[in-house]
Amino acid sequence: MASFEHTITEVAGLRDHYRDPSELVQNKATDHLDVGCREFIDRSTFVLIATSSAAGDEDVSPKGGHPGFVNVLDDQRLVIPDLNGNNRLDSLQNIVENGRVGLLFLIPGVGEMLRVNGSACVTVDPEILDSFTAEYRRPTSAIGVTIDEAYIHCAKAIRRGVLWTPDEWPTEASHPEVSKILIDHAGLGGHITADDMAAGLEESYRTDLEADRPS
């Protein structure tokens, strides 16, 4: 495996390499979900879930839904429904093994994000699963998170990446052809065309999203 040269190998050396954070940054983390955190989560339609296995293998999984699809139970706990997906179960397996998560909540059009870190479990509590059925089908399970810390992350990365600036987005013609990437990933060159792969993706999106709807 290729390695890198001129690396920083000690925390002290890392801190010497950067300026100190501001007093606001040092003191902004809270150990519970205060009113502002609850309001942010209630308006969020997208969350990234970072996990790692017992062996240290990492994963980041996206979850999306209507505003408020993540339920805040109290000032220490929230739950994320496991909606229709590919059933790889990477995040859920890691949570069962390691029991830790890092969350990054986004709201369309808002540059700041909410970061939440804590312990996690996979819950099949009937009362919790039933709480999601107003907007979605009853999930098979949910991710329960007990908060260690929560804080607002600044908007610089979103602004640099022009995530919410449509006028600066790349044109559709310059987008990567995901169907071709998937064909390469799976070693299916010569067995399926990019058009057929794209059509299959769209059909799977349609059927899976349809299956999310409450019965």
- Say what angle helices 194-212 and 178-186 make with each other, to 10 degrees: 100
> Where are the extended beta strands (E) located within the chain?
46-52, 58-64, 71-72, 77-81, 100-106, 113-123, 142-153
Strand partners for 50? 60, 102
CA separation, residue 64 to residues 43, 47, 60, 81, 105 (Å): 12, 6, 13, 10, 10
Phi and psi (nearest 5°) for 129?
-65, -35
Per-residue pLDDT, 2: 73
CA–CA gap between residue 143 and residue 147 (Å, rounded): 13
Helix (H) or strand (E) holding 185: helix 178-186
Alpha carbons 115 and 155: distance in angstroms, whole number: 12
d(CA 42, CA 70): 7
pLDDT digit of tens for each residue in the chain (215 aa)? 679 999 999 998 898 999 988 888 888 899 999 999 999 999 999 999 999 999 999 999 999 999 999 999 999 999 999 998 888 999 999 999 999 999 999 999 999 999 999 999 999 999 999 999 888 899 999 999 999 999 999 999 999 999 999 999 999 889 999 999 999 999 988 889 999 999 999 999 999 999 898 87
| Domain definitions of the chain by residue range | 27-160, 170-212
**pLDDT score, position 142:** 97
Number of other residues whose CB lies within 10 A of the CB of residue 181: 12
Interior angle at CA 185, CA 47 and CA 57, nearest 5: 50
CATH code for 27-160?
2.30.110.10
First to last CA, the chain: 50
Distances (CA, A) of 123 to 41, 77, 143: 20, 12, 6
CB 104 within 8 A of CB 47: yes
